[in-house]
Amino acid sequence: MGPAALIMELKHWITGDDQPGPSESLVRHAGDLRLHPSDQVRGYTEYCQRFHSGVREHEASVHGCVYFTRSTHYTPYLQPPHDYLAREYPVFGVSPHDLNERLPAYIASLVSEPNERFAADFANGTYEQDRRFVRQVAGVLKESEESPFVLLDEQRRGYELAVQQIEEALAAGHPEQRHVIIIEGPPGSGKSVLAAQLWSRLATHPEIEGNVVFVTTSGCQKAVWKDLFTTVSGKKAAAGLVVPANAFNPGLRATMAKEMREQGHAWTVDTWRENLELFAAARHRSKCPDLQYEVSIVDEAHALMDPTVEAGRGAYPSGWVTHAGPQGWHIVRASRISVFLMDSHQSYRDNETTTPDSIREYARDHGVTDVTRVSLHGAQFRCGGSKAYTDWVDSMLGREGASTTPSLDWRKTSSNLAGTFEFEIVDDLHDLDRALRARSDEGFSVRLAASYARKWRTKGVSDPHGLPPDEMDFNEPSSKSQTGRWARVWNYAPELDYTLFVQGPAGAPIGIDPLCEVGCPYVLRGFDFDYIGLLWLSDLVWRDGEWRSQLEHIHESAWKSTVSRARKEPRVESEQLLAKLKRGYRILLTRAIRGAYLWCEDEETRCRISENLECMAP
């Protein structure tokens, strides 16, 4: 028996009232749908087996189990539909039988003697792809009849242009010469599909032997792409091919700030280059060395963080150590070929501060003087395939450079059956429900959407759908022609698993009722559905011939910096806040493939949108 590693998932859960879940991977813990711990450790185990350098070098086996540190009762975790999973990745608790017999016997069956060299290589291991596995997954993603990643028209052109540039880079034959490609396109131009196909093409390329990764820029995007790779390929470890942008940090930690300052170093965001030099000089082992990846394909690159930009100061979550500098800079540093797919007009949160210009600057820092740019402008695969609709959205929102007389030929109505995209304003939220349920009954995908003009009151609540209406995030009055109130919760994301809202798996609340939750711009960005029901709330309203923001209705936590400045200096900062609101509504208005239904909270705003629908030139 060769070297072996055992991964033990520790769960400090009280499991007395837990129940089996609706699927193998989901269990009901404390009234909430949670990932089964055995499925969690399965992911870790398969990841190590496929991507850990020490495991691959020693041809070691990797095993996994679960240990409940506070419970003896875990029967629901062993019952169908979890029985096979729990046999493969067994579950243990704190009962005397488990502690004295079952768990020691299990460990002894896997690990019999020490192996110091393997232990050291395991502890110091790095990310290293199993090329056979990668090519197998890529082949399924590319060739499967059920693959959602199909290229059309301008997508194919953009894809071929990008491939051509990469082929030229490979032909150059300089293993340490970097290449940077920027692919730009508006909402619905097919950037994500193109990104997936590029990954598949390069992962199977005969001249590429290094790591080829699909890079994500948000928690929601990461969760959904990992799920897509896993579902389409049928292999749990395929999720390990999706790498978050945070993983490009070479190893700087927030805790270093104090010790570095005690040694007399500034160690601020502004000194990030010096910070990196100090980190290297201290001989810290880099978690993401230079040229760690052969190819990095970054989807939604406009959401990359650059803490050196003034607009994003003080707006960074714990996932990225700001002292390391811009995420995009590190992606270029760690990749031989970097491909950034982006639309700067979809930057939404305060900390989304990366632009094509900044990427070109990062490229120059690493010796890349010729950055390739590919444009998907003019392509539209959402919104009924109508660029005229997105032009109308831009015009209605008053975006700079938008046409003042866009066509309405796109609108499909009883009098214009040639139109390709439905857009209707409804009088009441119950009407919105009825219109979307009719489409859902026809087999189309539907979702509700809104900007953050309501507080997330149910965040952290284990069963928000079971709350009384007056405790939900949305509790709206009906018009006088209706009875009863309209109540909903924000997108339900236990353990920040936004795949529940986006994918709607069987057994999840939104899988049972696709209209039981409301999605925000952050969650919906990058994804689409056949029909969208949009709640236009009072954060962005039409007053005295112009769009205006209303601070009292803005509850977007990712805008803390912008909102704070707007409160202190409204004349100076209101335009920035207004621009963000418009971007949010632009994101929401361009999520649908076939049609959108709109309800407006504010009457004057409703009239303005109606006028735009009626008076634009046909």
Domain assignments of the chain as residue spans, ordered by start: 4-123, 131-253+290-375, 383-615
- Residue linked to tokens 């109505």: 413
Q: Is 572 exposed, middle or buried (0-12, 13-18, 19+ CB in 10 A)?
A: exposed
- The stretch 516-543 carries a mean pLDDT of 92
Q: What are phi and psi of 490, to 5 degrees?
A: -70, 165
3-state secondary structure of 543: strand
How far CA 5 is from CA of 79, 101, 122, 153, 583, in Å, comes to 27, 20, 9, 48, 48
Q: How confident is the model at residue 20 (pLDDT cuts 50, 70, 90)?
A: very high
Look at residue 314 in the predicted model and tell me its pLDDT: 66
- Residue 350 CA to residue 11 CA, distance in Å, equals 35
Q: What is the pLDDT of residues 584-600, one digit of tens each?
A: 999 899 989 899 999 99
348 or 331, which is more confident: 331
149 or 290, which is more confident: 290
Helices (H), 70-152: 83-88, 96-97, 103-110, 116-123, 131-143
Q: What are phi and psi of 192, to 5 degrees?
A: -70, -40
405 pLDDT higher than 80: no
Rg (CA), the chain: 26
The sign of the CA dihedral 76, 81, 87, 89 is negative
In this structure, whether the domain defined by 131-253+290-375 belongs to CATH 3.40.50.720 is answered with: no
Look at residue 616 in the predicted model and tell me its pLDDT: 45
Report strand pairing: 242-244 vs 212-216.
parallel
Residues paired with 99 in a beta bridge: none
Look at residue 613 in the predicted model and tell me its pLDDT: 87
Range in 147-156, 163-172, 566-575 with the lowest mean pLDDT: 147-156
Q: Please, which residues have CB within 8 angstroms of residue 404's CB and are 6 or more apart in sequence?
A: 395
3-state secondary structure of 36: coil
Q: What are phi and psi of 507, to 5 degrees?
A: 95, -25
Q: What are phi and psi of 534, to 5 degrees?
A: -105, 125
Helices (H), 27-78: 37-51, 53-58
3-state secondary structure of 33: strand
Average pLDDT score, the chain: 88
Q: What is the pLDDT of residues 90-120, one digit of tens each?
A: 999 999 999 999 999 999 999 888 999 999 9
- Residue 606 CA to residue 612 CA, distance in Å, equals 10
Confirm if 350 and 566 have CB atoms less than 8 A apart. no
Look at residue 618 in the predicted model and tell me its pLDDT: 39
Q: Which two tokens stand for residue 310?
A: 């003034």
Q: How confident is the model at residue 57 (pLDDT cuts 50, 70, 90)?
A: very high
Q: Which residue type is seen at 148?
A: P
Look at residue 401 in the predicted model and tell me its pLDDT: 67
489 pLDDT higher than 60: yes
- The stretch 339-354 carries a mean pLDDT of 85
Percent of the chain with pLDDT over 70: 92
Q: What are phi and psi of 525, to 5 degrees?
A: -60, 130
Confirm if 476 and 521 have CB atoms less than 8 A apart. no
How far CA 570 is from CA of 69, 257, 550, 564, 566, in Å, comes to 53, 34, 11, 10, 5
Look at residue 575 in the predicted model and tell me its pLDDT: 82
DSSP 173: -
pTM assigned to the model:
0.84
Range in 55-64, 72-81, 413-422, 446-455 with the lowest mean pLDDT: 413-422
